[in-house]
Amino acid sequence: MEPGKIMVIGSSNTDMTVVTSRHPEPGETVLGGQFRMGAGGKGANQAVAAKRLGGNVSFVCKVGSDLFGDNSIQHYKEEGLDVSDIMRSKVSSGVALITVDRTGENSIVVASGANADITVDDIESIRKQIESASILLLQLEIPVPAVRRAAQIAHKAGVYVILNPAPACSLPQDIFNYISLIIPNYSEMHLLTGVEPVNAEMADAAFREMRSRGVRDIILTLGAEGCIVDQYEKGTRVSIPAYKVRAVDTTGAGDTFCGALCVALSEGRSLVEAAGFATFASSLAVQKLGAQEAIPYRKDMEDMAGRA
């Protein structure tokens, strides 16, 4: 049976990455090492991850009418994504400046460009495509009103709506009513709930606060510690440990997780099974440098599983 259609609406950036021994202090210059330029943006990363891992994926974003935009669309076509609803803007395409230290930790500055030009009217223009999806995956590198409207349309049509609330920002209260599953990391959970999940008791308080907003299911990602899956209907909370690997670059790990999770859900797996699949995929991603360059293919996962 063909997997359900996954639609990703989000950002498209060109990533410029420098690897350094450490992150510079304010006012300091640190001589770096390797420089790489490649495709990025949380929306694009998640769409590419879902496609590489076996999903039936369409990607909606907005890029500039410039060389970066042309190159991005060509890249998405080569990845096999449905790009028929990608929009063009008079504003320049988005770029991200990324610094990665020797431990694999990153710091990122984003110039949003055309990503910030996505409007509610743009979302209305693809209403039918949203309504025909099985899963809608959203993030917060595009304007919140556009995210809210996309979630609202999808929810009304019975589409399973997933929000990865990154980068963290305050959100209108009613948006949570349209979300089927939210996937925050530690800092995003803290910002959204006001509760820092530093231990089991505080994590429980954070989950309860998030649930009070109207979200049904929650996955709290914890990097090297794995993730916690909290399910409303089953009344269960399951911890999934991370795989022990040597992290080279964590830039695309969370995006790989989200894309992989959508694929597993589209194939009919349970939320806990899907989270396990996503955890495995992200463990492969952190072992390589880059965002999309590091995203594994389904065959990579199958080969690695066969060696285990």
Q: Quick check: 252 and 295 in contact, CB under 8 A? A: yes
Helical H segments across the chain, by residue range:
42-52, 67-79, 120-124, 127-131, 144-156, 186-193, 200-212, 253-266, 271-285, 298-307
Q: Check the CA dihedral 266-271-276-281 and report its sign.
A: positive
R_g of the chain computed on alpha carbons: 18
Q: Quick check: 71 and 40 in contact, CB under 8 A? A: no
Classify the phi-psi angles of 215: left when phi > 0, otherwise alpha if psi is within -120 to 50, otherwise beta. Answer: beta
Q: What are phi and psi of 220, to 5 degrees?
A: -95, 115
Residue 255 appears among annotated catalytic residues: yes
Q: Check the CA dihedral 111-252-144-78 and report its sign.
A: positive
Query: 66, 217, 255, 303: which one is catalytic?
Result: 255
The Cα 169–Cα 162 span in angstroms is 16
Positions marked active-site:
255
